[in-house]
Amino acid sequence: MDFWLIIRFIFLIILIIFGIFFFIVFILLRIIRKYHKFPIPSFMTRLIDNPIRRKFIQKPEKVAERLKLESGMTVVEIGPGKGSYTKAIAKKVLPEGIVYAIDIQESVINRLKKRIEKENITNIIPKIDDAYNLSFEDESIDRVLMIACLPEIPEPIRALKELKRVLKTDGLISLSEIFPDPDYPRRKTEKKWAEEVGFELEEQFGNWFIYQLNFKIKPKKIN
């Protein structure tokens, strides 16, 4: 048999084995996370915020652009990870605007504090906070961003109610998800959660694998 044909055949077999392995791991992780939700370890947030994702899959500038940010706005990002998306948002609200980067894990916040100190960024405020019980006033926030974060929270509806409390009446919340995050929900699931709380879809971007949904507060009906 032709040498290169054998090499190609071996390569194909290896590829199939890897594919099956990752598929099984993915299914197992999905089952575990369905019944036992917990914040992903801090080191994992560093792995998922990598150059391939930032350059080819989910560009921070694009995510920020879709938020319709204006200078002077107050933004909250929940679950900022390494902070690449936080930085893109912070740039767009300069010079007066502020981005609060909040996370329930101290290790995530401490790492982000070090990064912004090193890069001399003055309008990002990292702080430990819980999406169920945010330390912000009612109707004080212009934009809320959550990337691969809401489905990780055991009670997403409860968190969304808290987001609605802090959001200004003309504010936006933006939810983004990426497949194959083991917590990945379909768009219609996230839309259903948001509608249940009193949000309505303003705009959607992306596709089945990677999407971003912008919601605004549904205006109250006047009789």
Rounded distance, CA 159 to CA 156, Å?
A: 5
Angle at CA of residue 143, ends 30 and 87, nearest 5°: 80
Which residues, numbered 13-42, are part of the site for ligand SAM (CB under 6 A)?
Answer: 39-40
Nearest 10 degrees: Cα torsion 110, 133, 162, 100: -30
Q: Which residues, including other chains, have CB under 8 Å from residue 38's CB and lie 6 or more apart?
A: none
The residue from 33, 94, 98, 105 that contacts ligand SAM (CB under 6 A) is 105
177 binds ligand SAM (CB under 6 A): no
Our finding on whether 130 is near ligand SAM (CB under 6 A) is yes
Site for ligand SAM (CB under 6 A): which residue of 99, 108, 163, 173? Answer: 108
Task: Return the residue nearest ligand SAM (CB atom).
Answer: 79
Residue 221 tokens read as 């009906």
Number of shown-chain residues binding ligand SAM (CB under 6 A): 22
From the list 29, 94, 104, 125, which residue makes contact with ligand SAM (rule: CB under 6 A)?
104
Q: CA-CA distances (angstroms) from residue 37 to 54, 57, 79, 171?
A: 26, 26, 15, 29
- Within 8 A by CB and 6+ apart from 58, the residues are 147, 176, 178, 210
Which segment (8-16, 142-150, 165-173, 206-214) binds ligand SAM by CB under 6 A? 142-150
- Shortest separation between residue 156's beta carbon and ligand SAM, angstroms: 10
Which residues of this protein are in contact with ligand SAM, per CB under 6 A? 39-40, 45, 48-49, 78-81, 102-105, 108, 130-132, 147-149, 152-153
